[in-house]
Amino acid sequence: MGNKLGRKRCVVDEKYTKPQGLYQHKDVDHKKLRKLILDSKLAPCYPGGDDCRCDLEECPICFLYYPSLNRSRCCMKGICTECFLQMNTPNSTLPSQCPFCKTFNYAVEYRGVKTKEEKGLEQIEEQRVIDAKIRMRRKEIQDEEERMQRRQEMSSSSRIFEPTEIGYASGTGMPVITLITFF
Interface ranges with Zn ion (CB under 5 A):
59, 61-62, 72, 74-75, 80, 83, 98, 100-101, 103
101 vs 141 by CB, closer to Zn ion:
101
Closest distance of CB 61 from Zn ion, Å: 4
* Closest to 47 measured CA to CA, from 32, 55, 38, 59: 59
Task: Output Rg (C-alpha) for the chain, integer angstroms.
Answer: 30
Q: For Zn ion, give the closer residue by CB, 74 or 169.
A: 74
Nearer to Zn ion, 12 or 80 (CB): 80
Which CB, 100 or 161, lies closer to Zn ion? 100
DSSP category for residue 80: -
137-166 residues labelled b (16+ CB within 10 A) or e (exposed) = eeeeeeeeeeeeeeeeeeeeeeeeeeeeeb
Could you tell me the smallest distance in angstroms from the CB atom of residue 100 to Zn ion? Answer: 4
Beta strands across the sheet bearing 108-109: 78-79, 70-72, 108-109
Q: Which is nearer to Zn ion, 75 or 136 (CB)?
A: 75
Helix (H) or strand (E) holding 127: helix 116-160
Q: How far is the CB of 35 from Zn ion (least distance, A)?
A: 21
Q: CB of residue 48 vs Zn ion: minimum separation in angstroms? A: 6
Check if the beta carbon of residue 90 is closer than 8 Å to that of residue 80. no
**Residue 143 Cβ, how far from Zn ion at the closest point, in Å?**
33
